[in-house]
Structure 1
Amino acid sequence: MSDTTLSLPKARPSLSGRVKAALLLFALFAMMPPLALALDDPFYLLIGTRILAYAIAAMALDLVLGFGAMVSFGHAAYLGLGTYAVAILASFGVHDLVLQMLAAIAMAAVFAFVTGAISLRTRGVYFIMITLAFGQMAFFFFISLSAYGGDDGVALVQRSTVLGMDLLGSDIGLYYTTLALLIGLFILCHRIVGSRFGRVLTGIRENPTRMEAIGFTPFRYQLTAFVISGCITAIAGVLLANQAQFVSPAFMSWHKSGELIVMVVLGGTGTLAGPIAGAVAALLLEEWLGILSEHWKLFFGLFLVLMVLFSSDGITGMLRRLGIGRGKE
């Protein structure tokens, strides 16, 4: 079999199909608060907000994993940086959400630029291991910060404010703010992957040697995507800190990085909408299986194995074969 055959890109959902799938998910998300009110159960809002925040993080990881073929096993570090941006600024009396997000983005951009510039000089399993190493370095650094609770973490006195207004004080306000950010960031990612930059990044994923031969520098494009992904993940961390009203190094452990990868693979890589569906499926299965058995991880693992065996391109691939969410080619 020739190299040309091996480098042929796999079939991906078209842009219109991606948007249709996302619109369906966003419509379902918008119906959650009325459902929670009708059932008089605030738990649905809390788990819903958590799902939305993790959906942002999974979508950000898909930008580098699905479109850039960079398997980052330390992406939870950016999630943790977002949570600690909230805790650190709150300790100085700064509770504004916009300022916290800007701080989180700045911290994530610097960390992603430095670690990405080093990690991208490696390939394959070496890239995976070095991103894991950097993630664990960040994890142990924040464990050593006794001023912020160390390994025990720190509770937040209040949720963030928006331009002085307590919009996130209610669970519904936090939920819809998180949903609005998810929609906005999806549009941003959708524009990125559909742009010239996104097409070059996809080309580098398929065959970096050929892209370099026609005048593109893979390193610059991959590093830029890595930094953008880290910044978006940090925004998810800011939202998770507000949802839990608690911050600890556990947010940036390698287990969290693994969970994000599972969400992307479960939903379907290189789709943007797939990781959102993957976050929904993974977190709901965690809740439901946890009710049935304390050994829920065993059943979750079996489900993941079956999904990979029978639908290697995840939930979106399975739905596409059933004729659901198919867009124009």
Structure 2
Amino acid sequence: MSMSPRVLINSALILLLALVPFIAEMIDDSFYVGLTTRILILAIAALSLNLLIGYGGMVSFGHAAYIGVGAYMVGIGAFHAFEDGVDWMLNGYVQLFGAIFGSAVIALVIGAISLRTRGVYFIMITMAFSQMLYFTAVGVETYGADDGLSIYSRSDMLGLIDMSNENSLYYLVFFSLLILLYLMHRLVGSQFGNVIRGSKSNEARMRSIGFSPYKYRLVAFVIAGTIAGYAGFLMANLNDFVSPDMMHWTRSGDLIIMIVLGGIGNLFGPLYGAVAFLMLEELLSSIPLTIGGLRVGEYWQLLFGPLLIIIVLYARNGIDSFLPGKDKRS
């Protein structure tokens, strides 16, 4: 059976990502492994937010909070392992459980409250909760407050995965993304996904046929928060550092931009958006041109803004608009 051009393009992207460590070794530059690892981690976080925005119509400006929670589970575990000699807190599986469970519980609480509202009120409540967690992290001096917390040892996965090896970490992130793409594909295509999408289009109709949109949305909210917490776990191990800045509402804005860039409500949209966002950031910030004593690259956001406006105006569904065919899940 022949594959559609869209599937071929998506497969080519996945194949290219699978070869990144080999390409980096060939050109003797490991920088690209770290950069691509960061891209894939943010793609995982954007994928989770796309479930809310793209399929459920729930625009959350507090999604970065779950990334921060997941990251701090790693940072706090490493801190107590070295400061207090609590070795079991360096166990990667303990940290992973804490990241997933903690983000899930917080998502459940935030979702239970915010989902009782709609529109701008929903946006403001999710952002308010995110800022509450942000300022809580800023105020905790034990864990570095606004200076952040350095991680002197990455998660110990008991020999199964060497998190200190950049290639091992990369492939953990890569295969995690593949698994989550598959699970998201199945989820959106299931009855659960149909209810979520149907509630976005016509909530009253979904109620009339016997479904409770609130319960389905709450489950979707918790799923999205849990995946974002896992992304935070990975990000902390990549950066060897956590800080309250990871929870700031502007970080949630970055995830939304990635979704818009890639294509809202499309399975591969968050991945394309994360690749485009991080590569543009890297390229624009590297511009050496100096005007009036100011290096243009330091103000890359001023260049990125107009590009984003052009994409929104002329490519209504982001990069996905340029791909042949149509995403069946859109």
- Checking the alignment, whether the CA contact within 8 Å between 1:18 and 1:272 is kept in structure 2 is no
Cα distance in structure 2, aligned partners of 1:124 and 1:17: 37
Any idea what the Cα deviations from partners look like across 1:164-183, whole Å, max 9, x if unmatched?
45511111111111101111
What is the one-letter code of the residue matched to 2:260? V
**Aligned counterparts, 1:128-143, within 5 A:** 128-143=123-138
Q: Counterparts of 1:58-137 in structure 2 under 5 Å?
A: 58-93=46-81, 94-137=89-132
Equivalent residue for 1:268, pick from 227, 251, 263: 263
Kindly provide the CA deviation profile for residues 12-36 of structure 1, in whole angstroms up to 9, marking residues without a partner as x.
Answer: xxxx888655433321111111111
Deviations 1:39-96 (A, max 9, x none): 1111101101100100000000001110000000010000100100111222333223
Rounded to whole Å, the distance in 1 between the matches of 2:22 and 2:108 is 42
Distance 2:9 2:246 in 1: 29
Q: Which amino acid aligns with 2:142?
A: A
Equivalence for 2:253: 258
Residue type at the aligned position of 1:315: I
Residues 17 and 326 in structure 1, CA contact (< 8 A), matched pair in contact too: no
Matches within 5 A, 1:215-294: 215-292=210-287, 293-294=297-298
Q: What residue is the counterpart of 1:24 in the other structure?
A: 12
The equivalent position to 1:214 in structure 2, one of 206, 209, 214, is 209
Please point out which of 316, 319, 322 is paired with 1:315. 319
Is the 8 Å Cα contact of residues 267 and 329 (structure 2) preserved in structure 1? Answer: no
Q: Name the residue aligned to 2:148.
A: 153
Contact conserved, 1:25 with 1:277, CA < 8 A, in 2? no
TM-score by length of 2: 0.90
Q: CA RMSD in A?
A: 1.9
Letter in structure 2 aligned against 1:280 = V
1:51 maps to 2:51:
no
Deviation at 1:187, TM superposition (A): 1.4
Deviation at 1:101, TM superposition (A): 1.8
1:181 aligns with 2:169: no
- Work out whether residues 60 and 230 of structure 1, in 8 Å CA contact, stay in contact via their aligned partners in 2: yes
TM-score (norm 1): 0.90
* Of 14, 21, 37, the match for 1:33: 21
**Unmatched segments (≥5 aa) in structure 2:** 82-88, 288-296
Find 2:302's aligned residue among 289, 295, 298.
Answer: 298
Three-state SS of the structure 1 residue aligned to 2:71 is helix
Q: Cα 1:21–1:221, aligned 2, differ >3 Å: closer, same or farther?
A: farther
Q: Partners in 2 of 1:192 and 1:20 — Cα distance?
A: 22
Q: Distance in 2 between matches of 1:140 and 1:104?
A: 19
Instruction: State whether residues 17 and 327 of structure 1, in contact with CA within 8 Å, keep that contact through their aligned partners in structure 2.
Output: no
Aligned residues: 311
Q: 1:197-219 deviations in whole A, cap 9, x for unaligned?
A: 00111100111111011111010
